[in-house]
Amino acid sequence: MRTDPWSRDRRAILGTAAVGHSGATRSSEKRITTDLFPRSASQGRSPQEIVDSFGYSIWTKYLFVRGSVCPECYGTVDVTKRGGQPFVVSVNQCRECRFTVHVPVDVIVAFHPVVIEAFWQHGVSLLDVPLWRHFEYTTGDSWEATVESTDPFATHVTITLDDATLRLAVADDLSVTQVGERA
């Protein structure tokens, strides 16, 4: 008997983020994202290639849900938000198959064209950066996100790359707009 490689019991929790920075305990961590881990993902790949494939898988799933499309069955996804300061996650659940994709709001900001361009101008292609490096940027000194309100949702993100500073706002519908000049 052959096991279905896409069965839901093969999920891998890809990462967690400690809330409260220093001294955070395991119970204070929040889920960043989850992804399926079919057997085929590990066949013929080195450990590094397996990790890289997860990153590309998550980027691809985000592109689907960004267009309100389920990456599993192509049904329509509904979006809710979960979390608060300092970490908010977009929860995208399919109306048909209930497949759910968790996306940090920072990823939504990172896909804004002005952010992609700014990183590109500083020698970084965000679409080619391994997922964990992306989280290093969003949790480091160059990226500051402040949740202004949870109902309705509003947050501001300031990104500083060398001499350039970007200021962006994320609205309740998770649309991103540039609100400050680049230096």
pLDDT in tens, the chain (183 residues): 444 434 444 444 444 433 333 333 444 455 556 666 778 888 899 988 888 887 788 888 889 999 999 999 999 999 988 876 666 788 899 999 999 988 888 889 998 999 999 999 999 998 888 777 777 888 888 888 888 888 888 999 999 998 889 999 999 999 999 997 655
Please say whether the beta carbons of 85 and 125 come within 8 A: no
- Tell me whether residue 34 is in a domain: yes
pTM check: above 0.75: no
- Tell me whether residue 68 is in a domain: yes
> For the chain, how many structural domains are there in total?
1
pLDDT score, position 45? 92
- Tell me whether residue 2 is in a domain: no
Nearest alpha carbon to residue 117 among 63, 161, 60, 175: 161
- Tell me whether residue 3 is in a domain: no
pLDDT score, position 136? 80
- Tell me whether residue 126 is in a domain: yes
pLDDT score, position 19? 36
Peptide bond connecting 152 to the previous residue in cis, omega within 30 degrees of 0? yes
pLDDT score, position 72? 92
Q: In this structure, what DSSP letter does residue 112 have?
A: S
Peptide bond connecting 104 to the previous residue in cis, omega within 30 degrees of 0? no
- Tell me whether residue 158 is in a domain: yes
H or E stretch covering 116: helix 113-121
- Tell me whether residue 1 is in a domain: no
| Structural domain harbouring 22 | 8-180
Tell me the three state secondary structure of residue 18.
Answer: strand
Rg (CA), the chain: 17
pLDDT score, position 3? 41
Please say whether the beta carbons of 82 and 91 come within 8 A: yes
pLDDT score, position 32? 59
